[in-house]
Amino acid sequence: VIRCRAAVAWAPGKPLSVEEVEVAPPKAGEVRIKIVATGICHTDDHALKGSLPNVEYPVIPGHEGAGIVESIGEGVTSVKPGQKVIPLCVPQCGECSFCQNPESNFCQKSHISEPQNLLPDKTSRFSCKGKQIHHFLWVSTFAEYTVVPEYAVAKIDAAAPLDKVCLFGCGFSTGYGAAINTAKVKPGSSCAVFGLGGVGLSVVMGCKAAGASRIIAVDINKDKFAKAKELGATDCINPRELKKPIQEVLTEMTGQGVDYSFEAIGREDTMIAALASCNMSTGVCVMIGVLDSGSEISIDPMLLMTGRTWKGTVLGGSWKMRECMSQLVSSYLEKKFSPDLLITHTLPFAKVNEGFELLRAGK
Ligand code: NAD
Ligand code: ZN
């Protein structure tokens, strides 16, 4: 058993509390990882608020981390102690019908089809003050050590800087993959990206890499625009400064609406605006933002009748993450993209709550 620090959410609506926890050794088929760096994704904030479905408390959140294998359980063959890895919040069991389908990355062992508050044998490896603490999406990266199933671990290049590539665990892969895999953005096309956080800026990078000729970035926080432009946005719009609804403005700017629109915020109104912003015939709108559990959206069915496509994506569409992660990290090492620009602050672990304040303040 390892004693180390972890940030525990004891109940919804409370700040995290950095505690000393016990982390049990990995059982058969499991891997214990020393987490070296973790990002903060807005989905962690949903978990703190209690607005994500299927989360049980107390829980150790965090799902965008990178680390080094500390030890392995019986039967683990794909990783060894000392190797650099990224734990996967969408695993790749390799056996379910979705893993077998090249078009999907949505392993049936993902949190949405099977709650992952405990490890597959229905026990936890975390405890604190005599209480069992739940896992989060199996990865719980807000802990100095975490235990995950082998099929939720991706091996990466030993040269990878863990304080940068942790972003591949969620935000970068999600946004970049939404453009490349889910929307399949074509060269010369027009795109609109709603929300310019870590996810939305990664969508901008994906649209640019796919050869889009117009990338319109939309956010109510104008401080996000400089970075969006640096990453490839051709236009930046603040909907609060418009006299007309954003969908009307985007439609006028592009003639018929954009070819691809993306919602990376997590609000009903912007999901509908993004849908209405893509062209009525061949337009594709990708929903990435996470709505509070229990939310419902109602739309005019005519929006879809004429041919628009509305789809969602989790962790970047059809990556097979155990294999694709090492390729993504190698491309990063070859400088094919620069998610480093997404890193605004680097804080010591004890200041994790300050990190959430910066996220909520749009910084
Ligand atoms: P973030 O908080 O860093 O960014 C959100 C951005 O949206 C901010 O820049 C904010 O100013 C902007 N915004 C807020 N309200 C707006 C409005 N009304 N109009 C325009 N812009 C607005 O968040 P993030 O970490 O980038 O995550 C974005 C969303 O994606 C969250 O809902 C998160 O839960 C979700 N997410 C989904 C997946 C997935 O796999 N589908 C993965 C990661 C994150
Ligand atoms: Zn995330």
Same domain, 15 and 99: yes
pLDDT per residue over 311-348, tens digit each? 999 999 888 999 999 999 999 999 998 889 999 999 99
**Of 312, 337, 353, which residue sits at a domain end?**
312
Which residues' Cβ are closer than 6 Å to ligand 1? Answer: 41-43, 46, 170-171, 174, 194-200, 218-221, 224, 239, 264-267, 270, 288-290, 313-315, 359, 362
Note whether 98 and 220 are same-domain residues: no
Q: Quick one: which atom of ligand 1 is closest to the CA of 316?
A: 40
Strands (E), the chain: 2-8, 17-23, 30-38, 65-72, 84-87, 126-128, 131-133, 145-149, 153-155, 190-194, 214-218, 235-237, 260-263, 284-287, 309-312
Report the percentage of the chain scoring pLDDT > 90: 95
Q: Which domain holds residue 18?
A: 2-170+317-361
Centre of ligand 2 from the C-alpha of residue 228, in Å: 19
Q: 68 and 108: one domain?
A: yes
| For ligand 1, mutation pick of 41, 285, 295, 297 (most atoms within 8 Å of CB) | 41
Is the pTM for the entire model greater than 0.85?
A: yes
Same domain, 52 and 186: no
> How many domains, the chain?
2
Verify that 298 and 345 share a domain, yes or no. Answer: no
| Ligand with an atom nearest the CA of residue 288 | 1
180 and 145 co-located in one domain:
no
Looking at the fold, whether 182 and 130 belong to one and the same domain comes out as no
What digits encode the pLDDT tens for the residues 144-186?
A: 999 999 999 999 999 999 999 999 999 999 999 999 999 999 9
What is the rounded distance in angstroms from the CA atom of residue 226 to the CA atom of residue 222? Answer: 8
Query: What does the mean pLDDT of the chain come to?
Result: 96
Q: Say yes or no: 101 and 189 in one domain.
A: no
Separation of alpha carbons 313 and 289, rounded Å: 9
* SS3 (DSSP) at 271: helix
Q: Is residue 161 domain-shared with residue 194, that is, in the same domain?
A: no
